[in-house]
Chain A
Amino acid sequence: MEFVLLIFLPVIFAILVPFVYKYIKGIHTGWLVLLVPLALFSYYLSFMPLMMDGGHAISELKWIPSLGITFTSYIDGLSLLFTLLITGIGSLVVLYSVFYMDKQKEDLGSFYVYLLLFMTAMLGVVQSDNTITLYLFWELTSISSFLLIGFWYTRDKSRFGALKSMMITVFGGLMMLGGFTLLSIMGNTFSIRELIAQAPELVNHPYFTLALLLILLGAFTKSAQFPFYIWLPDAMEAPTPVSAYLHSATMVKAGIYLVARFTPIFGTSSTWIWLVTGIGLLTLFWGSFFAVKQTDLKAILAFSTVSQLGLIMSLLGAGAISYHTTEAMFALATYAAIFHLINHATFKGGLFMIAGIIDHETGTRDIRKLGGLMSVMPISFTVALIGSFSMAGLPPFNGFLSKEMFLDSMVALQHFELFNFDTWGILFPIIAWVASVFTFTYSLYFVLKTFVGQKNFEQLPRQPHEAPIGMLLSPMILASLVLIFFFIPNLVGKWIIKPAVMAVQPTLYASPEAVDVHVLAWHGFGSTALWLTVGIVIVGSLLYVTIPKWQPLYKIQPAKLSLNEGYDALMRGSEKGMNRMSRLYMDGVIRTYLLYMFAFLSVTMIAVLFIKDAFVIDMTSFTALSLYGVLNAVILVLAVGFVVFAKSRLAAIIALGGVGYSVALFFVIFKAPDLALTQLVIETVSVALFLLAFKHLPALSSHGETAKTKIVNFVVALSVGVMVTLVALSSHSQKLIPSISQYYKDTVATEAGGGNIVNVILVDYRGFDTFFEIGVLAIAGIAVLGMIRLRVSRKETTDENK
């Protein structure tokens, strides 16, 4: 079966959704939508045995074969893991949204269209083997996420959040496209598999580091890494199912996927290891530190997502070290990254849904107003407790396992000896530990401030009560997974994680069984990670208890210096700067624009003439001067001078007549009777036309010129004159090919049967030109008639922006 087509199943179903929504009013649209991810999930489950054996599956759909662009669905362990996350959590989110989104109040038709669009996009991102289609789906996730964040488009904050996330992720996406383009130039293919196959050659290519940086930019913006995480907290204005799905389990992991997918290509580079590990750890610390500051439930979760993504990212970076050393700890890092990715998707999805439930049942998400909900919402409390403790890294939840593996890997980092890790490496475990302490603190903060403490239900917008069972179903399933994964980590590892690890590090392992990791919940008292966890629990609890004491610490950071403020300033500044720049040169005065054009033209032409050494004067090509010719030239120059310096317009017109006459005389001197005839008639007619329009012309001296502008005009006019003179002289001096006029002279009587060579050229040899000149005249005549006859009211504003 061509399973590549399954990628498009959600989007095809999305076409039907509006009809379903409109004509089937009786049931919630979500129930029908639910069928799509469920069907996909169960179908993709069937790939698992194949993956477990280290196999992969490929299905292709040709799109633009001549450019090598195909929709290729390449399913290996990594793709399958993400696919299962997308479809599995997708099903749960749709189920949750059926109860969360009101059938009457919300525009469900649009909601599910966007959601299905997003599902296709995500499936495409994780299954594409072709970088171009990967980019296509990548941008589709940005767009559908934009639509989903701005779902309640009547709110200012939603629109702001949607725009911000769009700006940042599309910026990253474009950078990534640049990286992909460089990669395809380097490897001469768009296929990721083929690129991976030639990875050893790519390392020495001059574009290698640039491509690496650009692709990392794409991954970091999408996965909300420092300093691009700022869009994620603002994206919390989206409906909660969207936050749970996009901003915890799937879209923000697209960057993780990208890093994991490209590790076989870039992983050997020290830049990659340093950037991915370093930025990941920085994000981990930053996100966990600022999560405690938040007062909005979803904002806490957003910062915790940022922080956990940083954790996974740093593990992926540490995992790449295994290309340089055989130490088992670094092979563990990749395993830990993938394991934590799964764990995070389960507990964070559940936590978001709980935050949504609290919002739904109490009317607020402000943690300062909440408290004591444990007794009224026992099920939600249980789920939240499981999620939070897993997030904090406590047994018996799956977060504990991956957190211990994380700590182990970070401790191992300091012993790595390449790339200056031995000098700076000691920082890694310290930062990781401190960040974990804060993680513990905000996990407690999240669950205890909401559910424990004194009840003050009076100031809540709604009287709180337990949510309907349908709404609780999805978080309950996720919470039970959190528990189950703790007890069967090695089964999960065997079925899902090891194939994924093999996909990330294909050169190191021959088969998934070769990944030598056995997860243990209990390492004995000798394990470093255990004591680190104990330390985390103790210090974290102390920090939680003393929150009121040290929370003022956050006030040290001035509001002006935050990254959000930086983003706003950038947006405002660029808009203002662009406005100012446009105003600077677009002053609406035609004279200014003409100045630009003439100055540019003359400067470039003169520069090219001299840079290319093209200026040549060949005196022998000139004819002899005649005295009357010189005199006529003097007359012409004087008459032109009169035109320029005339005080009144009438005098200028008369002098212009003089210019025309003297030009006609030149035509006579150079023996062109037809030209002379035409020139005289045209001259007279145009002088008459000037007089005709004279009444309507403004006074000559009303252009607002100052001495300064006059000097500028003079300089530009002079340079244009010099330019034309130089070009004319040098083009006259160097004729590359002889003139074709001899042919006309020879054949004008024999071929065309004429005597006047000019007229024969005009109507016979090159009558086509004449034909269109006649057309031009006709158009000019009609236009004049139109302008005189059809007068639109002058009162209309001419501002095109209004």
Chain B
Amino acid sequence: MTMFYSVCLVLVFLSMLGLLYRVWKGPSTPDRLIALDAIGVMLISAIALLSILFDTPFFIDVILLIAIMSFIGTVSFSKFIERGEIIERGSDR
């Protein structure tokens, strides 16, 4: 069974490498951004597989956090690409 998880992990890492190729190549910024977002998802699966391998529940928090953080990251990038800034100034200023 360990063998199976290891193979799965290696596959996940290989797909991360593929995504990294997209980060490198682009060609446009949104392409890179989507690749980074997907790397986050790959990270989630990698950590899930690792915690099965290590037989520990302590990494579940990490998984949840990655989900949140990669969402926040992607949203802030997107907003930046669209508006040129992340936090807009209030209309009263």
Q: Given A628-B6, A638-B20, A642-B23: A650 and B14 within 8 A (CB)?
A: no
Asked if residues A684 and B73 are in contact (CB atoms below 8 Å), the reply is yes
Asked if residues A680 and B29 are in contact (CB atoms below 8 Å), the reply is no
Asked if residues A684 and B32 are in contact (CB atoms below 8 Å), the reply is no
Q: How far is the CA of A626 from the CA of B84 in the complex (A)?
A: 42
Q: Mark A513-536, 1 if CB is under 8 A from B, else 0.
A: 000000000000000000000000
Asked if residues A677 and B61 are in contact (CB atoms below 8 Å), the reply is yes
Tell me what chain B mostly uses at the interface: helix, strand, loop, or mixed: helix
Interface size class of B (residues with CB under 8 A): 35 or more
Complex contacts, A651 vs chain B, CB 8 Å: 23, 26, 29, 32
Q: How far is the CB of A665 from chain B (nearest CB, A)?
A: 6
User: Is A175 an interface residue, CB under 8 A from the partner?
Assistant: no
Q: How far is the CB of A131 from chain B (nearest CB, A)?
A: 72
Asked if residues B47 and A665 are in contact (CB atoms below 8 Å), the reply is yes
Cβ-closest chain A residue relative to B54: A671
Asked if residues B62 and A676 are in contact (CB atoms below 8 Å), the reply is yes
A658, A673, A695: the one contacting B58 at CB < 8 Å is A673
Complex contacts, A680 vs chain B, CB 8 Å: 62, 65-66, 69
User: Is A681 an interface residue, CB under 8 A from the partner?
Assistant: yes
Complex contacts, B61 vs chain A, CB 8 Å: 673, 677
Asked if residues A631 and B20 are in contact (CB atoms below 8 Å), the reply is no
Q: Mark A654-677, 1 if CB is under 8 A from B, else 0.
A: 110110010011001101010011
Q: How far is the CB of B46 from chain A (nearest CB, A)?
A: 6
Complex contacts, A688 vs chain B, CB 8 Å: 72-73, 76, 86
Cβ-closest chain B residue relative to A683: B69
**Interface members, chain B 27-78 (any A CB < 8 Å):** 29, 32-33, 36, 39-40, 43, 46-47, 50, 54, 56, 58-59, 61-62, 65-66, 69-70, 72-73, 76-77
**Interface members, chain A 684-725 (any B CB < 8 Å):** 684, 687-688, 691-692, 694-695
Asked if residues B59 and A673 are in contact (CB atoms below 8 Å), the reply is yes
A627, A657, A664, A687: the one contacting B6 at CB < 8 Å is A627
Asked if residues B24 and A642 are in contact (CB atoms below 8 Å), the reply is yes
Q: How far is the CB of A766 from chain B (nearest CB, A)?
A: 22
Cβ-closest chain A residue relative to B46: A665
B24, B50, B84: the one contacting A669 at CB < 8 Å is B50
A654, A658, A671, A684: the one contacting B72 at CB < 8 Å is A684
User: Is A9 an interface residue, CB under 8 A from the partner?
Assistant: no
Q: How far is the CB of B10 from chain A (nearest CB, A)?
A: 5
Asked if residues B39 and A658 are in contact (CB atoms below 8 Å), the reply is yes
Q: Given A635-B20, A695-B84: A657 and B73 within 8 A (CB)?
A: yes
User: Is A632 an interface residue, CB under 8 A from the partner?
Assistant: yes
Asked if residues B62 and A673 are in contact (CB atoms below 8 Å), the reply is yes
**Interface members, chain A 455-469 (any B CB < 8 Å):** none
Asked if residues A650 and B29 are in contact (CB atoms below 8 Å), the reply is yes
Complex contacts, B70 vs chain A, CB 8 Å: 684
Instruction: With a 10 A CB-CB cut-off, give which of A627, A628, A635, A650 has the most chain B CB atoms.
Output: A628
Q: How far is the CA of A626 from the CA of B9 in the complex (A)?
A: 11
Q: How far is the CB of A675 from chain B (nearest CB, A)?
A: 10
Complex contacts, A638 vs chain B, CB 8 Å: 17, 20, 24
Q: How far is the CB of A684 from chain B (nearest CB, A)?
A: 4
Complex contacts, B47 vs chain A, CB 8 Å: 665, 668, 676
Q: Given A628-B13, A676-B62: A694 and B43 within 8 A (CB)?
A: no
Q: How far is the CB of B49 from chain A (nearest CB, A)?
A: 9
Q: How far is the CA of A688 from the CA of B70 in the complex (A)?
A: 11
Complex contacts, A669 vs chain B, CB 8 Å: 50
Q: Given A654-B23, A671-B54, A684-B69: A635 and B16 within 8 A (CB)?
A: yes
Instruction: With a 10 A CB-CB cut-off, give which of B24, B29, B43 has the most chain A CB atoms.
Output: B24
Asked if residues B29 and A692 are in contact (CB atoms below 8 Å), the reply is no
Asked if residues B17 and A654 are in contact (CB atoms below 8 Å), the reply is no
Complex contacts, A658 vs chain B, CB 8 Å: 20, 23, 36, 39
User: Is A491 an interface residue, CB under 8 A from the partner?
Assistant: no
Cβ-closest chain B residue relative to A653: B77
Asked if residues B62 and A694 are in contact (CB atoms below 8 Å), the reply is no
B36, B56, B66, B80: the one contacting A657 at CB < 8 Å is B36
Q: Can you pick out 26 interface pairs between chain A and chain B where the beta carbons lie within 8 Å of each other?
A: A626-B6, A627-B10, A628-B6, A628-B13, A631-B14, A634-B17, A635-B20, A639-B23, A651-B26, A655-B24, A664-B43, A668-B46, A668-B50, A668-B59, A673-B61, A673-B62, A676-B59, A676-B62, A677-B61, A677-B65, A680-B66, A680-B69, A684-B72, A687-B73, A691-B77, A691-B86
The 5 A-B residue pairs with the shortest CB-CB distance, nearest first, are A631-B13, A684-B69, A628-B9, A673-B58, A654-B32
In the complex, besides A655-B24, A684-B72, 6 extra interface pairs with C-beta distance below 8 angstroms are A626-B6, A627-B10, A642-B24, A661-B36, A692-B85, A695-B84
